[in-house]
C-alpha cells in the first residue's frame, strides 16, 4: 500500500522534470546542410571559375565559422560553435529536433562570438589547430577563402582572404536570416534544408572586390569589412 | 531485529570498500598552488579562474617551456629566447635567433609579472596570456612548428601523457591543455623581491645615491614607468626614429589607426640591467644610452607622446643617481629561483 502511495506522490514530479519539449506539438527532426557553390554549380576544389570582373579563380580552401543555427526560435545542435570546413567534407550538416510547425525563417551567425575571441585557449571547433586563429593579432578568422588566380600578382599567384575582426569598426560577425520556402511537415520525415554558400558573391555586391587590386586580406579592417559585406549575401536556400 | 541490523552494516561496509576501491582507479586531484605578491599591488588581470594553478600544471608548463619539441628542429624551446639569467629576455641580443638562421623582428622582452598585463608583445597584439605561445610556436622565423605537429609529438612522448593526465585529468592531450599549462608556469613567474621591494616593505634601506635616484625617477620617469610594476601598460611613441629595416609601426599594426603609429608598449623596468639591449628593436646597448635618448635624442613626430614634447631634462648627476636606483630593481632571487629553472631529467 505504501509503495503505491509514494509512486503516485512522485509521478507528477518525474513527469514535470522531464527535459522534453514543453509543448503539445510533435517533435520534428531538422537537418540543415551547407553546400559550397560557385554561381549555379557545386564548388569543386581545383576547378577554375570566373568572377563578375572576368577574373579567374581556382579555389583550394573554403571554410567559415557558424553559431546559433536556428529554425524559428529553436537552436539546432549541441555545440556552441561549428566550423563548416568544405575541405574536410563536401557538405556540412547540423541537425536538431524542434516542435513540428511551419517555420518561415531560419537564421545563424557567421563568425565566432566576440567574447570567445579574447577568452584565451579554446578547444573543439575553436581549437587553433584548425588554422582559423591569428596567432600574432589574437582573434578568429571568421571565414577563409583561398586559391590561385592569374590576376593575383602575389608569390605563386595566391589568393588569400582571411576575414576576421570582432570589435568596433572591425567587427564582421553577423546574423544571417533566410526565409524558408513553404513546406508541409510530414510525420516521421525530417525537414531537410540545403543552404548554398556561393563563393562568387565574395567578389560582387555592396562592393566590387577585384582579385587584381586585392588578392590578399590578412587583417581585420576596412577591406575585411567590405569583403564580409559581400559574403553575408552568399547564402541562399536551395529549392527543389 | 539484531540480525537484520548486522546485515545492513555489512552491506554498508562492503559498499564503502567497493567505492573506495573504484575511486583509486581515477586520477588523483592535482595539488593547488598559491602565489604571493606584495601588499598594495593591484589585482592581477589573469586570475587563473578557468585554469586553477596547481603544482602538476605548473611543472607541466615548465617542462613544455624548456622543451625543444615545440619547435620544428628541436633547437628552439621557449627558453632559447627567454633565458632565466636575463630575467627571461634574450641576453645581449637585439633580435633573437630563430629557425634556420633567421632572426626575430623585435627584441624579446623579459618574462615576469605577466598576470598583471592585459595585452602582450610590443604592439599588444596578443589579448590573452593563454594564446601567446601560439605566436612564436607557429612563426616561420621563430619556432617554425604547427600546433598539430606539436600535439602529435607530445602524445608520442613517454612522459607527457602522464603529466597531462596528472594536471588535467584523463582525456586527450590538446592545444588548450598545453596552453593552460604554459599559462600556469608563466603566470607563476612573479618578480617582487628586488632591493626596491625590500625597501618598500620596510625591510631594507636605499643608499644615499639610490634614494636620490628614486627621487629623480619619481619626478621624471614614473608617469609612464609607474610603480610597482614599473609600467603603466600603455602604448606610447617615445621619440624613436622608425627602424628603416623592419619599418615597424608598432601598435598601428594591430589597431589600424594612424594615431597608433610608432607606439609601443611601455616595458617594465624591473630587472632592466639584465635585459639589455633596449627598445622594441634593441637599438640601445646600455641604460645610459636610453637616458641620453630621453635627455637629448627624442625625434618629434605627429604621434610623439605629449610627455616627451620637451624631452626629459636630465643632468649628469640625475643620470648617475638614476642608474644607482635602477640597479635596485634587479631581482636576483627571481633569476636564480630553481622553481623556474630547467629541471634535470627525471
Contact A118 B127 (CB under 8 A): yes
Q: Model confidence at A108, in pLDDT bands (50, 70, 90)?
A: very high
Provide the pLDDT for residue B93.
Answer: 93
Q: Which of B176, B186, B258 to mutate to test the interface with A (most CBs of A within 10 A)?
A: B176
Chain B positions touching A222 (Cβ under 8 A) are: 256
Determine contact: A154 vs chain B, CB below 8 A. Answer: no
Chain B positions touching A120 (Cβ under 8 A) are: 50-51, 128-131, 179, 183
Determine contact: A115 vs chain B, CB below 8 A. Answer: no
Which of A119, A128, A220 is nearest residue B134 as measured by Cβ atoms? A128
Q: How large is the average pLDDT for residues A101-111?
A: 96
Mean pLDDT of chain B: 94
- ipTM (interface pTM): 0.88
Q: Model confidence at A25, in pLDDT bands (50, 70, 90)?
A: confident
Chain B positions touching A122 (Cβ under 8 A) are: 176
Q: DSSP per residue over B216-283, as a string?
A: HHHHHTTTTS-TTTT----EEB-SPPPPTTT---BTHHHH--GGGTTBEEPPP-TTGGGS-SBSTT--
Residue pairs between chains A and B whose CB atoms are closer than 8 Å = 66
Chain B positions touching A118 (Cβ under 8 A) are: 127-128
Half-sphere exposure of B345 (CA within 13 A, CB side): 1
Mean pLDDT of chain A: 92
Chain A positions touching B134 (Cβ under 8 A) are: 128, 133, 135
Dihedral sign (CA A13, A19, A23, A27):
negative
The three cell numbers locating residue B268: 617594465
Provide the pLDDT for residue B174.
Answer: 97
Contact B138 A220 (CB under 8 A): no
Provide the pLDDT for residue B27.
Answer: 75
Instruction: Please name the residues in contact with B309: beta carbons below 8 A apart, sequence gap of 6 or more.
Output: B300
Q: Model confidence at A239, in pLDDT bands (50, 70, 90)?
A: confident
Determine contact: A123 vs chain B, CB below 8 A. Answer: yes
Between B208 and A14, whose confidence is greater?
Answer: B208
Q: Model confidence at B189, in pLDDT bands (50, 70, 90)?
A: very high
- Do the bridges between strand B97-98 and strand B102-103 make them parallel or antiparallel, or are there none, so unpaired? antiparallel
Count of Cβ atoms closer than 10 Å to residue A147 Cβ: 24
Q: Model confidence at B220, in pLDDT bands (50, 70, 90)?
A: very high
Read off the DSSP letter of residue B32.
B
Residue A103, Cα to own-chain centre: how many angstroms? 19
User: How near does any CA of chain A get to the CA of B178, in Å?
Assistant: 9
Residue B18 has pLDDT above 80, yes or no: no
Q: Model confidence at B2, in pLDDT bands (50, 70, 90)?
A: low
Determine contact: A168 vs chain B, CB below 8 A. Answer: no
Provide the pLDDT for residue B17.
Answer: 60
Provide the pLDDT for residue B3.
Answer: 62
* Residue-wise pLDDT tens digits, B233-289: 999 999 999 999 999 999 999 999 999 999 999 999 999 999 999 999 999 999 999
User: How near does any CA of chain A get to the CA of B100, in Å?
Assistant: 20
CB contacts under 8 A, A 29-68 vs B, are: none
Residue B336 has pLDDT above 90, yes or no: yes
Phi-psi region of B336 (alpha: psi -120 to 50; beta: other; left: phi over 0): alpha
Contact A129 B183 (CB under 8 A): no
Residue A123, Cα to own-chain centre: how many angstroms? 18
Provide the pLDDT for residue B219.
Answer: 98
Which of A119, A137, A170 is nearest residue B125 as measured by Cβ atoms? A137
Name which of B264, B273, B281, B287 is nearest B331 in CA terms: B273
Phi (first) and psi of residue A81, to 5 degrees: -140, 150
Chain B CA closest to residue A133: B134
Provide the pLDDT for residue B19.
Answer: 56
Which of A123, A129, A138 is nearest residue B125 as measured by Cβ atoms? A138
Provide the pLDDT for residue B21.
Answer: 52
Residue A97 has pLDDT above 70, yes or no: yes
Name which of A130, A134, A92 is nearest A235 in CA terms: A92
Provide the pLDDT for residue A105.
Answer: 96
Q: What stretches of chain B adopt beta strand conformation (E)?
A: 97-98, 102-103, 235-236, 264-265
Determine contact: A214 vs chain B, CB below 8 A. Answer: no
Provide the pLDDT for residue B312.
Answer: 98
Q: Model confidence at B162, in pLDDT bands (50, 70, 90)?
A: very high
User: How near does any CA of chain A get to the CA of B311, in Å?
Assistant: 32
Q: Which of A115, A123, A126, A135 to mutate to test the interface with B (most CBs of B within 10 A)?
A: A135
Chain A positions touching B130 (Cβ under 8 A) are: 120-121
User: How near does any CA of chain B get to the CA of A116, in Å?
Assistant: 11
Between B323 and B171, whose confidence is greater?
Answer: B323
User: How near does any CA of chain B get to the CA of A220, in Å?
Assistant: 8
* Residue-wise pLDDT tens digits, A44-89: 999 999 999 999 999 999 999 999 999 999 999 999 999 999 999 9
Amino acid at each position: 500500500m505504501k509503495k503505491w502511495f509514494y509512486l503516485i506522490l512522485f509521478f507528477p514530479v518525474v513527469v514535470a522534470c522531464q527535459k522534453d519539449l514543453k509543448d503539445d506539438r510533435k517533435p520534428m527532426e531538422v537537418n540543415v546542410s551547407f553546400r559550397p557553390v560557385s554561381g549555379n554549380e557545386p564548388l569543386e576544389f581545383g576547378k577554375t571559375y570566373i568572377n563578375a570582373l572576368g577574373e579567374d579563380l581556382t579555389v583550394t580552401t573554403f571554410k567559415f565559422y557558424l553559431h546559433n543555427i536556428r529554425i524559428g526560435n529553436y537552436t539546432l545542435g549541441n555545440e556552441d560553435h561549428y566550423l563548416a570546413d568544405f575541405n574536410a567534407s563536401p557538405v556540412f550538416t547540423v541537425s536538431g529536433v524542434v516542435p513540428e510547425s511551419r517555420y518561415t525563417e531560419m537564421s545563424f551567425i557567421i563568425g565566432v562570438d566576440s567574447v570567445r575571441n579574447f577568452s584565451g585557449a579554446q578547444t573543439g571547433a575553436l581549437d587553433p589547430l584548425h588554422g582559423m586563429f591569428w596567432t600574432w593579432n589574437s582573434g578568429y578568422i571568421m571565414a577563409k577563402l583561398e586559391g590561385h588566380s592569374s590576376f593575383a600578382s602575389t608569390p605563386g599567384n595566391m589568393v588569400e582572404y582571411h576575414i576576421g575582426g570582432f570589435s568596433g569598426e572591425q567587427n564582421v560577425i553577423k546574423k544571417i536570416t533566410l526565409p524558408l520556402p513553404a513546406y508541409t511537415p510530414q510525420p516521421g520525415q525530417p525537414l531537410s534544408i540545403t543552404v548554398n554558400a556561393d563563393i562568387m558573391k565574395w567578389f560582387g555586391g555592396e562592393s566590387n572586390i577585384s582579385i587584381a587590386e586585392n588578392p590578399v586580406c590578412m587583417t581585420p579592417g576596412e577591406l575585411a569589412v567590405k569583403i564580409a559585406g559581400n559574403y553575408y549575401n552568399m547564402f541562399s536556400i536551395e529549392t527543389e | 531485529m539484531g540480525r537484520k541490523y548486522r546485515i545492513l552494516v555489512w552491506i554498508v561496509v562492503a559498499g564503502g570498500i567497493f567505492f573506495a576501491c573504484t575511486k583509486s582507479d581515477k586520477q588523483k586531484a592535482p595539488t593547488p598552488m598559491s602565489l604571493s605578491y606584495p601588499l598594495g599591488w593591484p589585482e592581477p588581470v589573469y586570475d587563473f579562474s578557468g585554469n586553477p594553478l596547481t603544482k602538476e600544471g605548473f611543472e607541466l608548463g615548465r617542462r613544455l617551456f624548456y622543451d625543444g619539441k615545440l619547435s620544428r628542429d628541436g633547437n628552439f624551446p621557449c627558453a632559447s629566447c627567454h633565458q632565466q639569467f636575463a630575467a627571461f629576455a634574450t641576453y645581449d641580443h637585439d633580435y633573437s635567433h630563430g629557425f634556420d638562421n633567421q632572426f626575430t623582428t623585435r627584441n624579446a622582452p623579459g618574462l615576469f609579472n605577466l598576470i598583471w598585463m592585459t595585452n602582450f608583445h610590443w604592439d599588444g597584439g596578443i589579448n590573452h596570456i593563454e594564446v601567446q605561445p601560439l605566436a612564436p610556436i607557429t612563426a616561420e622565423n621563430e619556432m617554425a612548428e604547427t600546433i598539430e605537429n606539436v600535439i602529435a609529438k607530445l602524445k608520442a612522448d613517454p612522459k607527457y601523457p602522464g603529466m597531462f593526465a596528472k594536471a588535467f585529468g584523463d582525456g586527450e592531450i590538446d592545444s588548450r591543455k598545453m596552453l593552460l599549462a604554459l599559462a600556469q608556469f608563466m603566470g607563476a613567474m612573479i618578480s617582487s623581491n628586488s632591493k626596491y621591494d625590500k625597501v618598500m616593505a620596510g625591510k631594507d634601506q636605499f643608499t644615499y645615491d639610490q634614494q636620490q635616484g628614486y627621487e629623480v625617477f619619481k619626478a621624471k620617469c614614473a608617469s609612464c614607468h609607474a610603480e610597482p610594476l614599473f609600467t603603466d601598460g600603455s602604448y606610447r611613441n617615445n621619440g624613436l626614429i622608425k627602424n628603416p629595416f623592419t619599418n615597424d609601426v608598432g601598435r598601428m599594426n594591430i589597431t589600424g589607426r594612424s594615431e597608433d603609429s610608432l607606439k609601443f608598449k611601455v616595458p617594465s623596468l624591473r630587472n632592466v640591467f639584465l635585459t639589455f639591449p633596449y627598445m622594441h628593436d634593441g637599438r640601445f646597448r646600455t641604460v645610459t644610452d636610453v637616458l641620453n635618448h630621453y635627455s637629448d635624442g627624442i625625434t618629434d613626430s605627429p604621434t610623439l607622446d605629449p610627455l616627451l614634447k620637451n624631452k626629459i631634462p636630465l643632468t649628469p648627476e640625475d643620470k648617475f643617481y638614476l642608474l644607482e636606483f635602477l640597479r635596485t630593481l634587479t631581482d636576483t632571487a627571481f633569476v636564480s629561483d630553481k622553481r623556474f629553472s630547467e629541471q634535470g631529467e627525471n
